[in-house]
Amino acid sequence: AGRLLVVDYYAPWCRACQRLLRQMQSLAMEDQFRDVAFASVDFEQSRDLCHARNVEKLPTLEIYKGDELKQRWSGASKKRLLERLGDEMAATDDSEAVLEPELVSA
């Protein structure tokens, strides 16, 4: 089972990016997201990585579960981030649920 990772590709000159970055930093402090890792990639400092990941709009966000890319989108909507993160957290909870076998008396 992989941990959820949110990657935010941003630029220092992008106002919407800066706002979303601050919002992500506050989300990272919230209890409900304690098992989610948040990372940010500065477009200006990491152009090769951004080019390799086909980042064409800023901000661009990605959600990974382990090594698998689960979701990717562009835009500085905290609401969309929360919705998509909630979807992935729910999917993670469902897939990791352990079903106990029932004892049946014959």
What tokens were used for 9? 């590709």
pLDDT at 91: 86
Q: Which pTM was predicted?
A: 0.84
Beta strands in 4-49 (DSSP E): 4-10, 36-42
Give me the tens of pLDDT residue by residue for the chain, a chain 106 residues long: 578 999 999 999 999 999 999 999 999 999 999 999 999 999 999 999 999 999 999 999 999 999 999 999 999 999 999 999 999 998 876 555 445 555 655 5
Q: Establish if 101 belongs to a structural domain.
A: no
Range of the domain at 32: 4-95
What is the tally of structural domains in the chain?
A: 1
User: What CATH number has the domain bearing residue 51?
Assistant: 3.40.30.10
Q: Establish if 11 belongs to a structural domain.
A: yes
Q: Establish if 72 belongs to a structural domain.
A: yes
Q: For residue 60, list its beta bridge partners.
A: 9, 74
Q: Establish if 27 belongs to a structural domain.
A: yes
Residue 46's φ and ψ, nearest 5 degrees, are: -135, 50
Q: Establish if 100 belongs to a structural domain.
A: no
Cβ atoms of residues 36 and 3 within 8 Å: yes
